Structure 1
């Protein structure tokens, strides 16, 4: 009777933790000699669905991704984005994926075209050009390339991500700000034209806090996914 009871408890525990891998994800085998390529294909195939969110696993959508309030506080420029929403991650392209199971390290390299929309309040200058305004903003970023290098451990049958590093670059950014200089059209057109012609300078000023939050949101959802799905289901 005791043996049967123990078996029942073990079976119940196994059932509680098994079968959580979403049907749209096909797991790779740890013994696959082409493991990197296999995982890369899985991420490419399942990524769009993942960005929609997985309510049953408490995974929030990543397209759109809600950033809330983003502050840019530089000596020459003060900028606040509120009600910030980023779209476009659904269409990301995987450039490469590498994993080292022995060392517990992995690298994901991907590219996406994204658009940020938010209400902005801005005051300061870029180079020698004064800029201020309070209105709606839109930033279109072409070929945003993000590389995330992360460490992973296995604890209680699940992967954890204790640390990660990121790097990003882009091909181009285009800006649209309404109500620059209180609605002065001539000043607004001149400033916006300057901003779009010198987009690299602008993004050097404002990109850090924006991309930090985007990447943090992505990593947070992956952590929740690892919390929900046992490692042996992800890589049997």
Structure 2
């Protein structure tokens, strides 16, 4: 993190981007104020801020994602996730004195990638090599993070996260070498029983999505002094 801070601090811009309107630490409605700021600035932030080295979060390019468990081997390549730009803040809580904060938000996202898969889902064999799409409805992510002041900037030494969703829908082309009957049967089963399927294939991708969100927020904190992000 120190290397990141020293690199970003070389950038001339030291003020918060104009679309971020800082709240006051002394505001008795601080949580609600920050919620409104994140809601208003979030879509712009997800587009990326090149002058601060902040990469776009919509789309998020995850590259290669491996799912490796005893029953299923699955590799996604050229993985792209879209939809975070339309996120909505459910709640935000911050305790500046204790250096703790929690962001709870929801978005509808879609993962697209080339896939290679071999193994079992549920109790059924599955095999394929083609294009995939996973549509996730109301993906709810909660990130709890610690922050400390260091050299006039916020530093995030650790965070915890968890997530849930209302539904996932899967589409894999070229299952079983293009066998339509087998492919249709598998799609029917996995789209009805999407929850156990997501438990098998989702965690690695979600961990990477959340990590990217946290990493880009860290870049903002490293580039902009905290007195530009939270007023007295």
Give the TM-score normalised by the residue count of structure 1.
0.92
Please list, as runs of the form range in 1=range in 2, the aligned pairs for 1:60-209 lying within 5 A after superposition: 60-209=55-204
Match for residue 230 of structure 1 among 222, 225, 230? 225
Any unmatched runs of 5+ in structure 2?
Answer: 1-10
Q: Give 1:126 deviation, angstroms.
A: 1.3
CA deviation digits over 1:14-70, x for unaligned, max 9? xx8775210111110111111000000000000000000000111000000000010
How far apart are the structure 2 equivalents of 1:21 and 1:178? 45
Conserved in 1, the CA contact under 8 Å of 2:122 and 2:197? no
Matched, 1:41 2:29: no
The DSSP-based 3-state class of the residue aligned with 2:70 is: coil
Conserved in 2, the CA contact under 8 Å of 1:18 and 1:233? no
CA deviation digits over 1:167-195, x for unaligned, max 9? 00000000000000011111001011111
- RMSD of Structure 2 on Structure 1 (CA): 1.0
Higher helix share: 1
How far apart are the structure 1 equivalents of 2:61 and 2:111? 10
Structure of larger gyration radius: 1
Number of residue pairs matched by the alignment: 221
- Which structure's relative contact order is higher, taking Cα pairs within 8 Å and 6+ residues apart? 2
Any unmatched runs of 5+ in structure 1?
Answer: 1-15
Give the TM-score normalised by the residue count of structure 2.
0.94
Q: Give 1:201 deviation, angstroms.
A: 1.1
Q: Give 1:102 deviation, angstroms.
A: 1.1
